[in-house]
Structure 1
Amino acid sequence: MALSTEFTELFGIRHPIVLAPMGGSAGGALAAAVSSNGGLGMLGAAFGDREWLDREARIVASRTDQPWGVGFLTWGIDAAAVERALEYGPCAVMLSFGDPSPYVELVREAGAVLIIQVTDLEEARQAVDLGADVIVAQGTEAGGHGARRGRSTLPFVPVVVDLAASVPVPVLAAGGIADGRGLAAALALGAAGAMIGSRFQATTEALVDPAITKAIIEGRGEDTERSSVLDIARGSRWPSKYPARTLGHLYLDRWRGREAELVEDPQVREDYQADVARGVIPPLPVWAGEAVDLITDLPSAADLVTTLANQAEIALARAGRR
């Protein structure tokens, strides 16, 4: 059974599987591996660092002749970052977390597919109004940053699917999807595919420290927590609307429920960096979603794409028999 959807037809790809553009860790090798094996690889360009973008875009462009894209943190970029990415000819640009409207025309003029990620219905309505070609509905189970008052993937995705149906716009499900059963569930909810992050963090091509990989493989869903504590403590500029889901952390235990106090204490930022330098805490939090329990190995991204697609086909066939 082929998993053909509006999304796979839009890009001419085999599988409705999309690599989440995880900032810094979804580099060229990982994106190329996903694209070359039938999914859609996305570079995690985050704030649009030019050196990183130039290096990783060249890698993906040289390693695959299949469609690939690039994703940005909308609140932290400027037009120059998008323009630079578009010079490398991505087939898609994804905008997440913030107002995407200043960059819509840039993407359109370049002929790239506009993907907008949304975390609540207000953002979803804006994405429809802006003419997004694809909408990503991110549930609160997702690793990394997301809505403080969002909805979980299961109820959120169908609502966005219904909202987008009048246009129509294909919707991808994101959040808590780490195997083919999750992909099958997304399709059953009416989504045209799934965007997957944490599972691709634990692949041989991901740009992550081995300690992060080990933590993800050994992590448990009940150990993840969505909080703004780590952003405040490390001096991150992330908007408070989007706290991050991570695995457990010393500073979470120390400051949980004391965020207002933490904001007013500049010494904490110095203490945090000192603890990083001494190896007391890792350089970065371990972003991980609630489905982290399902991540138990370190495959290549190429093998993972095939495995996810096969698992989804089996899950859908089994559900049909039942």
Structure 2
Amino acid sequence: MALSTAFTKLFGVQHPIALAPMGGSAGGALATAVSRGGGLGLLGGGYGDREWLARELPIVAGGGRPWGVGFLSWAAGVSALEQALEYGPRAVMLSFGDPSPFVERIRASGAAVIVQVTDLEEARRAVDLGADVIVAQGSEGGGHGARRGRATLPFVPVVVDLAAPVPVLAAGGIADGRGVAAALALGGAGALIGTRFQATAEALVDPSIAEAIVRGRGEDTERSGVLDIARGARWQTTKYTARSLGHPYLDRWRGREAELAADSRARRAYQDDVARGDVPPLPVWAGEGVDLIDDLPPAADLVAALAAQADDALARAGRY
């Protein structure tokens, strides 16, 4: 049974499930597979790497299903956005930072504007900008989010009430169909899912990362700015941190972020450790729902399974 919501009607998709546009790992094959499975595949445009986009955009654009692309508002330039718009996405998602420089270009192309928010100030701004869909991201999510974010369960209904009638997707810690059902019960129009789709056949991740996610436990995840500082990433770590599985540099520098930021030798040591293979080349971004992941299925099959689980969960809840 298909779960029809304002989100599924807006994009003409079968299930209220969207792929989080995870930079670098949500490539064309993964986005296409999610769309083929009946969800909305969002390509992970991230920082707006033009070469990466040139390779991945034709893959998802040729899939014949509704799709979109996501960018980091603070990092991607207008030229990367225009490159993506040439392929005719149904939606563009903007996260972290001021989305306003991009909104009119997106709207003029005919694509829907999806804005991810991590607090109520961002949610109000998204409503004022006329976002077509808002993603309410809770602090349980893997990868980047607000340093002082709120948990998904209390945050989503507040954003739903604030944004109505704009459809809201829940994000953060959702890794199975019960989480999708919970998103709908909270008043959301669907769920945006990241970590669960990292562990699929089509994800653009090193096999070691997929295996780490399958083995990972929620209590092993940690939100921190240490790994961004050590890597020399340009994230504003006073506002945004990232949830990952354990890492030697988290143990070494936990609670000492300012000291690490001021220590150029320590940051060079990180690069040396990566080059020697002493630490993984990339952090394993993972949300608190990682315990629920125990396989690496094709993404289209996963979408169908998530939808069926959500339907079953809602049916069970309706019997109480």
Distance 1:280 1:246 in 2: 18
- State the Cα distance separating 1:268 from its structure 2 match: 1.3
Q: Is the 8 A contact 2:214 2:295 kept in 1?
A: yes
Distance 1:143 1:252 in 2: 15
Match of 1:52 in 2: 52
- State the Cα distance separating 1:78 from its structure 2 match: 1.3
Kindly report which structure 2 residues correspond to 1:105-124, keeping only aligned pairs within 5 A, or say none.
105-124=104-123
2:231 is equivalent to residue 228 of structure 1? no
Q: Is the 8 A contact 2:167 2:189 kept in 1?
A: yes
Distance 2:229 2:6 in 1: 40
Match of 1:274 in 2: 272
SS of the residue corresponding to residue 169 of structure 2 reads strand
Match of 2:129 in 1: 130
Match of 2:28 in 1: 28
For 1:217, give the aligned amino acid.
V
Distance 2:43 2:76 in 1: 15
Kindly report which structure 2 residues correspond to 1:300-311, keeping only aligned pairs within 5 A, or say none.
300-311=298-309
- State the Cα distance separating 1:2 from its structure 2 match: 2.6
Kindly report which structure 2 residues correspond to 1:245-264, keeping only aligned pairs within 5 A, or say none.
245-264=243-262
For 2:272, give the aligned amino acid.
A
Match of 2:209 in 1: 212
- State the Cα distance separating 1:269 from its structure 2 match: 1.5
Match of 2:9 in 1: 9
For 2:4, give the aligned amino acid.
S
SS of the residue corresponding to residue 191 of structure 1 reads coil
SS of the residue corresponding to residue 45 of structure 1 reads strand
| TM-score, L = length of structure 2 | 0.99
- State the Cα distance separating 1:66 from its structure 2 match: 1.0
Match of 2:42 in 1: 42
For 2:200, give the aligned amino acid.
T
- State the Cα distance separating 1:180 from its structure 2 match: 0.1
For 1:121, give the aligned amino acid.
L
Kindly report which structure 2 residues correspond to 1:90-239, keeping only aligned pairs within 5 A, or say none.
90-165=89-164, 168-239=165-236
Distance 2:231 2:34 in 1: 32
Distance 1:54 1:239 in 2: 28
Which of 283, 286, 292 is equivalent to 2:284? 286
Moved segments of 4+, more than 4 Å:
none
Distance 1:17 1:110 in 2: 24
- What whole-Å deviation, never above 9, does each CA across 1:177-206 have from its counterpart, x for those lacking one? 000000000000000000000000000000
Unpaired runs of 5+ in structure 2? none
SS of the residue corresponding to residue 262 of structure 1 reads helix
The number of aligned residues is 319
For 1:290, give the aligned amino acid.
E
SS of the residue corresponding to residue 226 of structure 1 reads strand
For 1:246, give the aligned amino acid.
S
Distance 1:268 1:43 in 2: 34
Distance 1:283 1:99 in 2: 30
Q: Is the 8 A contact 2:260 2:267 kept in 1?
A: no
For 2:89, give the aligned amino acid.
P
- State the Cα distance separating 1:99 from its structure 2 match: 0.2
- Root-mean-square deviation over aligned CA pairs: 0.6
SS of the residue corresponding to residue 240 of structure 2 reads coil
- What whole-Å deviation, never above 9, does each CA across 1:282-315 have from its counterpart, x for those lacking one? 1110000000000000100011000000000000
- State the Cα distance separating 1:59 from its structure 2 match: 0.8
- State the Cα distance separating 1:77 from its structure 2 match: 1.4
- What whole-Å deviation, never above 9, does each CA across 1:100-132 have from its counterpart, x for those lacking one? 001110101101000000000000000000000
Which of 315, 318, 321 is equivalent to 2:316? 318
Q: Is the 8 A contact 2:201 2:299 kept in 1?
A: yes
SS of the residue corresponding to residue 7 of structure 1 reads helix
- State the Cα distance separating 1:37 from its structure 2 match: 1.4
